[in-house]
């Protein structure tokens, strides 16, 4: 039983590509599509490939910008994201807005998170040795430079700390389970 579709985000970008005729906008969307697809498969170098030399991420969710501000910090952000195995998610994009400077995506993210990660993210989970499907809203502004490279991400998120469900181990997708060594299975509810 599939609880999420990790490909929804980049598929939404694909749909927008199909109806885009402006060459600059098309190029920006293609860079964004590759970036989003790389995030879904855990390809670190792919996530970094379309970025400018001095990118900046802005992450707003608590009234404070917590985003990394240079290439090395952004690389470390993705290394850390992969290390806590937070990347198995679905970004159900409901709206895409584009102009010559940026692409804006808005939608709902559903993500598998180990209990300890969900708790650190702000969810009121009780069992740390379990996996949860957490849900939150996200609006991301993807700014581009004149050459069509991604300057970074300006993300705005909102969570309800009670918007999660505990996932029975038998319903965890293989792509998520494969991120863990068998010695870690108890920590995710297997």
- With cut-offs at 50, 70 and 90, classify the pLDDT of residue 142: very high
The per-residue pLDDT for 1 is 52
pTM of this structure: 0.91
Average pLDDT over residues 32-36: 95
Domain ranges of the chain: 8-188
Residue 62 has pLDDT above 90, yes or no: no
The per-residue pLDDT for 34 is 95
Helix and strand numbers, DSSP H then E, in the chain: 6, 5
The per-residue pLDDT for 170 is 92
- With cut-offs at 50, 70 and 90, classify the pLDDT of residue 84: confident
The per-residue pLDDT for 180 is 92
Could you give the C-alpha distances from 15 to 28, 29, 104, in angstroms and in order?
Answer: 14, 10, 15
| Closest to 7 measured CA to CA, from 82, 89, 87, 111 | 89
Q: Selecting from 3.50.50.60, 2.60.120.10, 3.10.450.50, 3.40.47.10, what CATH number does the domain 8-188 have? A: 3.10.450.50
């Amino acid at each position: 039983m599939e609880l999420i579709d990790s490909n929804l985000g980049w598929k939404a970008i694909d749909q927008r590509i199909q109806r885009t005729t402006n060459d600059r906008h098309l190029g920006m969307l293609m860079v964004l599509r590759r970036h989003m697809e790389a995030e879904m498969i855990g390809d670190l170098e792919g996530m970094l490939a379309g970025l400018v030399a001095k990118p900046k991420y802005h992450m707003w969710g608590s009234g404070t910008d917590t985003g990394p501000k240079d290439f090395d910090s952004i690389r470390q952000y993705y290394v850390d994201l992969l290390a806590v195995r937070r990347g198995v998610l679905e970004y159900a994009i409901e709206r895409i807005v584009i102009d010559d400077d940026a692409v804006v995506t808005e939608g709902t993210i559903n993500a598998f998170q180990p209990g300890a990660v969900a708790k650190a993210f702000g969810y009121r989970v009780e069992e740390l040795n379990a996996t949860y499907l957490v849900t939150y809203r996200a609006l991301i502004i993807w700014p581009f430079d004149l050459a069509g490279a991604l300057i970074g991400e300006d993300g705005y998120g909102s969570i309800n700390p009670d918007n999660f469900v505990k996932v029975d181990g038998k319903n965890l997708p293989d792509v998520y389970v494969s991120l863990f060594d068998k010695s870690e299975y108890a920590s995710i509810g297997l």
